[in-house]
Amino acid sequence: MKKFFTSMVVALMLMAVPAQAQVKFGITGGLNMTNISVKDTEGSLNSRTGFFIGPTAKFTLPLVGLGIDASALYDQREGKSDGETFKSSSIQIPINLRYGIGLGSVAEIFAFAGPQFGFKLSGDKKYADDAAEWTLKSSNLSANIGIGATVMSKLQAKLNYNVALGKTGEYKDLTGVTNAVGSAKFNAWQVSLTYFF
């Protein structure tokens, strides 16, 4: 009987936690400044500003200040090298653990970190003179770390750094002089705004 009573108390406590949890949905949009680095070759890209947009969800446990953000973002990044413009597009799915402190529903500041899963939509490019080409991996893994603030539980601003965990793609010199192949990494500073419904 004691085991049954203990099991019932634990089950009721587990049911009470989700009842206190808050789930909010919104839309996120922002800009990224991508730093594209290439190893083992002289090929490189000068960064340009790109953008991202998509739906987001915030799951918060208000008693402990912990929560999870998750989004499905259409992400476009750009670079330029030797007069050629390089564009890549992908679906990025960041899942961040966050910890916030604040003044109830008036304002909150928070820090967050977590993995981001990327899936290529486009981005492979061969230069017009067939001197070089870029090939991106079909999927990649990166990590986010950043800070943010929420005002009136509706508007959220975030600043974060997204760092590639492994190779994002390859740059190949096709001139026949060196036939160099370099591994590329796309890291980015990102600023975003989210409106929760």
What would the pLDDT profile of 16-29 be if each residue is shown by its tens digit? 445 556 899 999 99
- Residue 16 half-sphere exposure toward CB, CA atoms < 13 A: 7
Asked if the model's pLDDT at residue 171 lies above 90, the reply is no
Instruction: Pick 82 or 115 by higher pLDDT.
Output: 115
Q: pLDDT tens across 30-72, in order?
A: 999 988 777 765 555 667 789 999 999 999 876 678 999 999 9
pLDDT of residue 168: 85
pLDDT the model gives residue 176 = 63
What are 185's two structure tokens? 């990494």
Kindly state the average pLDDT of the residues 79-103: 85
Q: Across the chain, what does the average pLDDT equal?
A: 82
Q: Which residue has the higher pLDDT, 8 or 150?
A: 150
DSSP-derived 3-state class of residue 47: strand
Q: Tens digits of per-residue pLDDT, 180-196?
A: 667 778 889 999 999 99
Percent of the chain with pLDDT over 70: 79
**Phi and psi torsions of 101, nearest 5°:** -130, 150
- What domains are defined for the chain? 21-196 (2.40.160.20)
For the entire predicted model, the pTM comes to 0.80
Q: Residue 137 and residue 185: Cα distance in Å, rounded?
A: 11
